[in-house]
Amino acid sequence: LIAALTESSQITPEGPLLRRAGFTIQFTRAQQAAIDALLARFAAAPFAPPTFKDCQVELTAAVVQALLETGVLVQVSPEVVFRAEEIRQAEADLRALITAHGPVTLAQMRDHWNTTRRYVQDLLEYFDAQGLTVRDGDVRKLKND
């Protein structure tokens, strides 16, 4: 059934989910205003963002889930989310620093991103899980090195 509906362009697979062809999430004006305000908070402190719980309080669980599913936000741990832009920036920073100077410590990345251990630890563990880095004692190095 799924194959037939996909072939006839009635549904579109997106990872493990399906959506009706042509469907896009549309927020109400109030929801969009709240999303814009929250994203402004993320932009103001890129590496010390609002927590997942903060996001759910300011928006709703359903709206936060929609932002995660559309890739606007990326959840790196149960408590921590970042905008996708910061994830891309963090990955580029990590690659550049490791390439230029060798393995990095959590403390070095904390200082580089001017944030707290809490955010950096979750972010580095996320990159470990994604296969970008590997932890070796107290340092992280690129997995393919």
Instruction: Give one DSSP letter per residue of 103-124, joined into a string.
Output: SEEHHHHHHHHT--HHHHHHHH
The predicted structure's pLDDT at residue 2: 80
Provide the 3-class DSSP secondary structure of residue 135. strand
Among 77, 94, 93, 71, which Cα is nearest to 25's? 71
**Of 86 and 21, more confident:** 86
Phi, psi angle pair for 73, to nearest 5° = -115, 150
Sequence-ordered list of residues with C-beta below 8 angstroms from that of 3, at least 6 positions apart, any chain: none
| Residue 134 three-state SS | strand
Give residue 15's pLDDT band: very low, low, confident or very high (50, 70, 90). Answer: low
pTM of the complete model: 0.83
Question: Residue 10's pLDDT band (boundaries 50, 70, 90)?
Answer: confident
145 vs 126: CA distance, rounded Å:
18
pLDDT digits (tens, 9 = 90+) for 30-43: 999 999 999 999 99
Condensed to tens digits (0 to 9), the pLDDT of residues 62-99 reads: 999 999 988 999 999 999 999 999 999 999 999 999 99
- From the centroid of its chain, how far is CA 119? 12
